[in-house]
Amino acid sequence: MRIYKTVDKNIDYIKNINHNSSDIVSRIITNNNIKIGYVYLESVTSDDKVSEFLNKSIIGKNTQDIFSNIEDSIYNSHITTLKELDNIFYYLSSGFTVIFIDNYDMCITVETRMSLDRGVSEATSEPIVRGPKDSFTENNAINLGLIRKRIKDENLIFDEVKVGKRTKTKVSVAYIKDITNSKNVIKVIDKLKSIDIDGILDSGYVREFLRDQSSTVFPGMISTERPDLACTSLLDGKIVVLVENTPYVLIMPGLFIDYFHSPEDNYEKPINASFLRLLRILCFIITISVPALYVALMTFNPEIIPDELLISLALQRDGVPFPTALEILIFVIVFEILRQADVHSPTVSGSAMNIVGALILGDAAVNAGIVSPIAIIIVAVTSICELVFYDVDMINAVRFWRIIFIIASLFLGIIGFVSCMFIFVTKLSSIVSLDIPYLTPISPLSTTGIKNYLFRIKRTKLNNRAKYLTRNIKRMVSHEKTNTSN
């Protein structure tokens, strides 16, 4: 729809489409008998900016060729000229002020956005000891800035897609053009464009549309609030998807091995980082299998337990009214409840939580003979090992499979455990993320992948990027070892 030539009609039109919303502010100025009007939404617009920049440039202007005259004299770099009324409300909601002038079927939009964001603060969900402390925010421009200031390369590209019929959320796809596989970029952008939804409020919405298959609990992409992790991934040849209004960005592809990493690994000595990665793998195995193994050994295969331990276990179990599996399941669930309560409770009630958790559920339950001490130890070990992972999706997947393992062991003992392990590994190997098998670099084997991601070898020896992520595998600018200084 074309813009009307009279100011009043235009302003009425805008008020009408928003049904006279209370935050619409408009003013009409008559300048040498030519009506100039402007409209903005006071909820997202800074009044100061409007008064400062607009009024000065509108009032008292020469009437000859007034449109370009005003356009040229506004002290603002963010100016667009529109000819259609259709898209006008998007501009208004984004904090723009729209200027209409009589006899012109065009309008000028000026950026007068109010800052509705908190500043860059410390990462809360992924704290590390050593390394950069900043985190992404809810503001898209700041988020892009946090990446841009780390990678000052002309090949770093941000592609923007607007998603959501009503929210019209900006979703930016960041990649380094000469490293990232362009096929994947096209695929991601196509998928983003084909999203049919009324609103996007967090990257969690986008994730469900971006994943390759929906039948797995394992996450196919990493979500992080750390710009340093996003930049490391970009340099490795991955794609980062930034969604407006959320500090959590998505990194694609997210392979199984990536969840055993911490951004800190890159800042520590290689041997320590490799050790920590192996430790996390051990924790994964413990957290997923220990309760199930306990149930299997206690109820089907006590032959495997050493003599003295068996007698001690049998004595501890004596008098507990529940079967072993139920005992473990109850406590696993009780722990999850405790954690949920802890996550969402304000810090004021934290100490009360501690008392309930530590004293009543631990010590008192044992003394009352409801659970055996060993069951508490088992659940405690599993839960502690689970907390090693910082990715919430991974923790959820682990929790899901742990319960499946317990159920399999409950019905079939060690045989059930082993068959469940088969199903688990089969399931893991069938997942793909952006056409890359989930268990890469272990299966299919990739030596550069192992050097980069399973272990972390010395950076001076880390010449290549992983082949499965990028075709441009040379990480170092020059491979030749030159004897510089000394």
Q: Which two tokens stand for residue 301?
A: 């295969």
Among the listed residues 95, 97, 107, the one whose alpha carbon sits nearest the alpha carbon of residue 27: 97
CB 260 to another protein: min, Å: 24
> Which residue's structure tokens are 């235009």?
10
Rounded least distance, CB 298 to another protein, Å: 5
Among 77, 154, 319, 478, binds another protein (CB under 8 A): 319
What mask, x for binding another protein by CB under 8 A, covers residues 366 to 405? --------------------------------------x-
* 302 upstream amide cis, omega within 30 of 0: no
User: Given candidates 129, 303, 460, 477, which one binds another protein under the rule CB under 8 A?
Assistant: 303
If one asks whether residue 215 binds another protein (CB under 8 A), the answer comes out as yes
Give least dist CB 312 to another protein, A: 7
Stretch near another protein under the rule CB under 8 A, chosen from 138-146, 181-189, 383-391, 416-424: 416-424
Q: Residue 376 is inside which H or E element, if any?
A: helix 373-386
- Residue 307 makes contact with another protein by CB under 8 A: yes
Within 10 A of 9 (CB to CB), how many other CB atoms are there? 12
Measured distance between the N- and C-terminal CA atoms of the chain, rounded to whole angstroms: 72
Nearer to another protein by Cβ, of 84 and 363: the residue is 363
Q: Which two tokens stand for residue 215?
A: 């039948």
If the CB atoms of residues 311 and 384 are measured against another protein, the closer one turns out to be 311
Q: Which one of 19-27, 228-236, 312-320, 438-446 is the stretch in contact with another protein (CB under 8 A)?
A: 312-320
Residue 318 within binding range of another protein, rule CB under 8 A: yes
Structure-token match 């910082």, residue found: 390
Could you tell me the smallest distance in angstroms from the CB atom of residue 362 to another protein? 20
User: What number of chain residues touch another protein (CB under 8 A)?
Assistant: 29
Size of the chain, expressed as the number of residues it contains? 486
Instruction: Give the other-Cβ count within 10 Å of 184's Cβ.
Output: 20
CA distances to 128, 177, 263, 346 from 226, rounded to whole Å, are 10, 22, 8, 24
Our finding on whether 414 is near another protein (CB under 8 A) is: no
Q: How far is the CB of 441 from another protein (least distance, A)?
A: 27
Q: Per rule CB under 8 A, is residue 412 in the interface with another protein?
A: yes
Q: With CB under 8 A as the contact rule, which of the stretches 190-198, 201-209, 300-308, 335-343 interacts with another protein? A: 300-308
Least distance from another protein to the Cβ atom of residue 292, Å = 13
In 358-481, DSSP assigns E strands to 432-433, 436-437
Q: Which two tokens stand for residue 362?
A: 């631990």
Binding of residue 428 to another protein (CB under 8 A): no
**Rounded Cα gap, residues 420 and 308, in angstroms:** 29
Q: Does 418 bind another protein (CB under 8 A)?
A: no
Does the footprint of another protein cover residue 413 (CB under 8 A)? Answer: yes
Strands 239-243, 249-252: pairing is antiparallel
Q: What are phi and psi of 174, to 5 degrees?
A: -105, 135
- DSSP state letters, 388-404: T---HHHHHHHHHHHHH
Q: For residue 65, state whether it binds another protein (rule: CB under 8 A).
A: no
Query: What Å distances lie between residue 205 and 141, 165, 209, 239, 249, CA to CA?
Result: 20, 14, 7, 17, 12
- DSSP E strands in 2-69: the ranges are 24-31, 34-41
| Sole window of 89-97, 138-146, 297-305, 338-346 interacting with another protein (rule: CB under 8 A) | 297-305
Q: Is 300 in the site for another protein (CB under 8 A)?
A: yes
Encoded tokens for 387: 């907390």
Is the CB of 366 or the CB of 407 nearer to another protein?
A: 407
Query: Residues 223 to 262: which contact another protein by CB under 8 A?
Result: none
* Residue 28 C-beta-side C-alpha neighbours within 13 Å: 13
Residue in the structure block whose two tokens are 């019905």: 411
Question: Which region among 67-75, 85-93, 174-182, 413-421 touches another protein (by CB under 8 A)?
Answer: 413-421
CB of 324 to another protein, least distance (A): 6
- Regarding 199 and contact with another protein (CB under 8 A), the answer is no
Binding site for another protein (CB under 8 A): 215, 298-300, 302-303, 307-308, 310-315, 317-320, 323-324, 404, 407-408, 411-413, 416, 419, 423
